[in-house]
Amino acid sequence: MAAQLIDGKERSITLLEQMRDEVSSLEQKPGLASIVVGNDPNSHLYVDIKKRTAEEIGLHFQKFSYPTNFEASLVAQQIQELNADAGIHGILIQLPLPPQYNRSDILKQVHPFKDVDVLHPKNLGLLMEGSPRFLSPVVRAVNDAIMLTGKYPVTRFDTQKEEIEIADLTGVNVTLVGSGLLVGRPLAQFLSLIKATVTIVNEETQNLTQHTKSADIIVTGTNSSDVLQPEDVTDGSILIDVGYDIIADKFMDKDIFLSKNPGGIGPLTVAYLLKNTITASKNV
């Protein structure tokens, strides 16, 4: 059998249409600001996609772009100004930052209420406690991809802001390939919270295949290409590529559900970043 593709793009279109209607009914237009430091073309491409998508559904979007040698203290000052701006409800620090920056120090400058990417230590701590203010856009995107397969029943999950639908993964074996700040760590916390059985592998893991073949769901988030081969994946499982980590064509003859790039997780992640911004604007 051929792989069944998970269409994140189509799902994101539906979400954005719903959000456009929601924004049109609000008295104040939600505002999102993004800070980019350096000239990495991918960073600017990703921010421009977010800007275009945000404006298409009626959000106000500001992009602040600085050169690689820009002082970190001045970036922190800009963040504080955005924290105080009543017209800005979400602040996004585009990663990676230049190597001379202390990433953690910069992320801590964002007010937790405006941390719509859910990278502030306080928001990560709330997730660990089981009462998150928001769920990370990547977490919500991966959850949607799993729900689109129809393999698992749907249940409800409460954040401080809203009740959302999630896949019931109680006891399901999930292997995360990569343990980074944006993908592996928040997913591991969330999946553990909802009682999935979580395995995390990284570049030091021995016998990678042993961990992936026993998984019902595999999520890759390493930003390294070709990290898995078809023989690493069991028929009937779900394979979700977040970080352009696999060569999708290799898996097209596998009997699996496959979320590949482009068109998989990326559009959903952008949609849920905007959803968090709208939710933050309501101050509920």
Q: Retrieve residue 149's tokens.
A: 């397969």
The set of residues, in sequence order, having a beta carbon less than 8 Å from that of 248 and lying 6+ positions away, is 241, 258, 260, 261
How many Cβ atoms are within 10 Å of 55's Cβ, its own excluded? 12
The set of residues, in sequence order, having a beta carbon less than 8 Å from that of 249 and lying 6+ positions away, is none
How many Cβ atoms are within 10 Å of 166's Cβ, its own excluded? 19
CB 252 within 8 A of CB 117: no
Q: Is 264 annotated as a binding residue?
A: no
Q: Is 38 annotated as a binding residue?
A: no
Bridge partner list, 176: 200, 219
Q: Is 34 annotated as a binding residue?
A: no
Strand 154-158 to 163-167 pairing: antiparallel
Bridge partner list, 201: 177
Distance CA 270, CA 199 (A): 26
Q: What are residue 95's phi and psi, to 5 degrees? A: -100, 150
Q: Retrieve residue 135's tokens.
A: 């769920």
Indicate the angle between helix axes 8-24 and 41-56, nearest 10 degrees: 50
Sheet holding 173-177: strands in order across?
Answer: 4-5, 257-259, 238-241, 217-220, 173-177, 197-201
Look up residue 220 and give its amino acid: T
The sign one gets for the Cα dihedral 126, 130, 133, 136 is positive
Pick from 140, 141, 103, 100: nearest CA to 121: 103
Mark the binding-site residues for NADP(+), compressed into ranges: 178-180
Residues in binding site: 178-180
